[in-house]
Amino acid sequence: MAFKLTQGFWARTARIILRNRILILVGIALVTVLLATQWKNMQFSNTEANLLPDDHPATLEYGAFLEQFGEEGNTIVLAVKDSRLFEPEAFNRWNIFNEQLEAFPEIDFVLSTDNLQRLVKDNEAQEFRLEPWLADSVRTTGQLDSLTDELFNRMPFYEKLLYNKEGRTIQSVVYLDQDLVNTKVRKDFVLNDLRNLVAEFEQDTGMNVRVSGMPYIRTMNSQNIIDEIGKFIFAALAVTSLIFFFFFRSIRATLISICVVIFGVMWAFGTLGLLQYEITVLTALIPPVIIVIGIPNCIFLINKYQQEVKKHGNQALSLQRVISKIGNATLMTNVTTASGFATFIITDSRLLSEFGIVASINILGIFVLSLLIIPILYSFMPLPKTKHLKHLNKRWIDAFVNWMERIVRHQRITVYIVAICTLVASIIGIYQIRISGSPIEDMPKKAEFFQDIRFFEAEFDGIMPVEIVVDSRRRNGILKPATLRRMDQLGEVIRDIPELSRPISVVDLVKYSKQAYYNGIPKYYQLPTSQENNFILDIARKSKDNGNLLQSFVDSTGQVARITTFMQDMKTDRMEEIEQELREEAAKIFPEERYDVSLTGKALLFLKGTKFLVRNLVLSLALAIGLISLLMAYLFRSFRMIVISLIPNLLPLVITAGVMGFLGVPIKPSTILVFSIAFGISVDDTIHFLAKYRQELISNHWRIRKSVYAALRETGVSMFYTSIVLFFGFSVFTISNFGGTVALGALVSATLLFAMLANLILLPSLLLSLERNIANKQVLKKPQIDILPGGTGSGQDRD
């Protein structure tokens, strides 16, 4: 009864589509125009994507830190390492450059040699005050030598903050307006004003200015994402269209397919605008993914149309059968593919959830577009010519199918041995996989801004901030001598960790106050003794300038302080070791009954987010397997068939994971998508094959071997076509500058290739070897719906 209802539904659908061709085309055009009006709402991400949910303890901890001390990622650093800088003319030009920077309204403050302040004691007023280190422009080399000697040897407070003594590198720290740092204004400033000013300075002096800092990195990284969207769309269109034309040798069919996927891309951008989602490194992949997935839909539908034309030459009947017989098959395969993407929706990560929503909606959208546009456009065109149907009888395709059949017929034991050996090797590889929590690992390695990141790691020990927050639990408790000593002790621990930069905190300001008290003598850059403490801190508290400096390190109540350090890029295991070491040392230094100490910052947040996503990967993959298993159960009504169908789809995932382990490709936010995506796509071939196999069993009166070989020949061509398109389609991501996107493209392509071989060789072999257990009327009951009434292969259909 359900089977007849399904047949009736698709027959009615075919009649509705073909009788309302103009109305449907107008409807598609209107929907496209409406979605196009939403493009203006598309936003490119101005903030770093938080991989953790909003209610995660680490997110809440970081939010509390921002409330107390403001945005930590609002600094851009510029540095010059060049001996010519220490010539009067060049040094003055550098100071003018910094003055020009500070004049921009987007800038709050620039800490540089131009406005560097030294802390001195005013004996008359009994207070500390700040006076300019540089009173006027430098006129002589001797004057500049004297200034730089003072900077490098008598001002340790600014070491690794404004200079690196060993490399004689000078740095400026630019503080962006905190209200603008996460807005479009930041992007405009960085890409236009800042880069133009830097270019002008470099042209005038011949020196190279290195630029970095989280706002700058985020802006340049986002711009790379924007630049790659068009490149991916063009590459995906070009590659898939060329392959399509190679298979079909028809310009008309190729143009129709291009038309379908272009509408799909327009709908994808419209969906992003309609939902007002930001374009991130993940959502930027959706338009080319729609192209790659849409072309196989076109292959199945056009292939079926040409088969029908070749069989009886009746255009109306051919189009009706394309919709009624292939519509359900294409729907099921698109549903399984969308399910693979949709599993990301249930994760607690907003980044993944938005990606899953937009991708799954538009995969179903491209199904609707292909089912409507292809039959309607062909209905206005003359029948395909004989030359357009020659591809249905290509000898090399027959040779490929014959090769597969020979393996399945005569070498099944070899197939199983190879599969088991590959499985064992892959499991060994899986144990070598590492997790990467580095926020810069996926960034384009050849980009200038990435080279600058490495420069600042070498000269200033890193650019990724790590914040340690110390709560003394009492007002003005931070400036108590005991608390300052404990913070200094923790600072020593940080200094002993080579991957961390010199810590900056209120302790350094107190040390600088003592040095100033003793007339700037460097050896007094240390915490006051108990006898000195009250006197020096009393002077410091009365000093207006010093109070302003305190705001950067201590909250307004004097109860909470921050210790800021910067982390170099490193492996996740080492990051976790450092975090654990800092927590353990902090627990020893600060008694739990008197202090609260927490660790936060962008670097640690990204690390926790990556590990959180890995846990969600297991959940989303399990959900994908569960959803698709339920679908298979609904289609085939057999538990044994579910198990048989999962083997050739899970094996490629294990192989891919093993390859990642052997090649050193880590699990990270980009590569964790591979498994759910590839599983959702690869299971399509299984559905096509098993549906045709069940149909052949019924037609051949349960003669198993004949049915397996017939199903293999019938579906092998279309499965080969679509797998090749998907393989090369996802391969276009390997042209990306982003390491994660390259890995995603290569891994999905490889997985789909493994899945094609598994479905065309391993699956038929299993069916033949287990024929007595699975191929009988009790196990293979007639399914609820018939998804392939007429087949999708290149051979002739049974009607």
C-alpha 638/C-alpha 632 separation (Å) is: 8
C-alpha 563/C-alpha 598 separation (Å) is: 10
Strands 43-44 and 278-279: parallel
Q: For residue 102, tell me if it sits in a domain.
A: no
pLDDT at 795: 39
| Cβ-contact 436, 572 below 8 angstroms | yes
Q: For residue 205, tell me if it sits in a domain.
A: no
For residue 411, report the phi and psi dihedrals to the nearest 5 degrees.
Answer: -130, 40
Q: Is 396 exposed, middle or buried (0-12, 13-18, 19+ CB in 10 A)?
A: exposed
pLDDT along the chain (799 residues), means of 10: 58 85 92 90 68 79 81 83 91 92 88 86 74 85 90 88 89 85 80 90 92 85 78 84 80 87 92 86 81 83 80 82 78 81 78 87 92 89 69 67 82 89 91 76 78 88 86 87 91 90 88 84 85 67 54 83 86 85 92 90 79 74 75 70 81 88 80 76 77 75 78 77 82 80 84 86 83 52 45 38
pLDDT at 489: 93
- Alpha carbon distances (Å) from 39 to 71, 190, 350: 30, 24, 21
pTM of the shown model:
0.76
How many distinct structural domains can be found in the chain?
1
pLDDT at 693: 77
Q: For residue 389, tell me if it sits in a domain.
A: yes
**DSSP state, residue 285:** G
The H helix count followed by the E strand count for the chain is 27, 12
Q: Is 555 exposed, middle or buried (0-12, 13-18, 19+ CB in 10 A)?
A: middle
Q: For residue 693, tell me if it sits in a domain.
A: yes
Residues in contact with 57: Cβ distance below 8 Å, sequence separation at least 6, in sequence order: none
* CATH number reported for the structural domain that contains residue 269 in this entry: 1.20.1640.10
Range of the domain at 21: 2-48+220-431+606-774
Q: What is the 3-state secondary structure (H, E, C) of 221-261?
A: HHHHHHHHHHHHHHHHHHHHHHHHHHHHCCHHHHHHHHHHH
C-alpha 556/C-alpha 575 separation (Å) is: 32
Q: Is 420 helix (H, G, I), strand (E, B) or coil?
A: helix
Q: For residue 634, tell me if it sits in a domain.
A: yes
CA atoms within 13 A on the CB side of 735: 18
> Within a 10 A sphere around the Cβ of 30, how many other Cβ atoms?
10
| Cβ-contact 764, 712 below 8 angstroms | yes
Q: For residue 570, tell me if it sits in a domain.
A: no
> Within a 10 A sphere around the Cβ of 584, how many other Cβ atoms?
11
Length of the chain: 799
Quickly tell me which residue has 């890193």 as its tokens. Answer: 462
C-alpha 157/C-alpha 619 separation (Å) is: 49
| Tokens coding 720 | 């080969």
Nearest C-alpha neighbor of 28 from the set 372, 465, 286, 292: 372
3-state helix, strand, coil in the chain (%, to 5): 65, 10, 25
Secondary structure element (H or E) that encloses residue 717, with its range: helix 704-731
Nearest C-alpha neighbor of 520 from the set 161, 133, 138: 133
Strands 560-567 and 464-471: antiparallel
**DSSP state, residue 663:** H
Could you tell me the end-to-end alpha-carbon distance of the chain, in angstroms, rounded to an integer? 19
- Alpha carbon distances (Å) from 675 to 275, 416, 429, 547, 678: 26, 23, 16, 55, 5
Residues in contact with 50: Cβ distance below 8 Å, sequence separation at least 6, in sequence order: 59, 350, 351, 605, 609
Alpha helices, DSSP H only, in 496-601? 506-517, 530-542, 544-550, 572-589
For residue 796, report the phi and psi dihedrals to the nearest 5 degrees.
Answer: -85, 145
C-alpha 483/C-alpha 495 separation (Å) is: 18
C-alpha 764/C-alpha 715 separation (Å) is: 12
Q: For residue 481, tell me if it sits in a domain.
A: no
Q: For residue 762, tell me if it sits in a domain.
A: yes
| Cβ-contact 536, 517 below 8 angstroms | yes
Nearest C-alpha neighbor of 303 from the set 388, 368, 381, 399: 388
pLDDT at 6: 59
Amino acid identity at 754: F
Q: Is 170 helix (H, G, I), strand (E, B) or coil?
A: strand
For residue 74, report the phi and psi dihedrals to the nearest 5 degrees.
Answer: -115, 15
- Alpha carbon distances (Å) from 686 to 673, 754, 758: 21, 13, 9
| Cβ-contact 356, 693 below 8 angstroms | no
| Tokens coding 206 | 């011949």
| Tokens coding 288 | 């080319």
pLDDT at 537: 66
Q: Is 163 helix (H, G, I), strand (E, B) or coil?
A: strand
| Cβ-contact 345, 276 below 8 angstroms | no
Alpha helices, DSSP H only, in 313-411? 315-342, 350-379, 395-410
Q: Which residues pair with 504 in a beta bridge?
A: 564
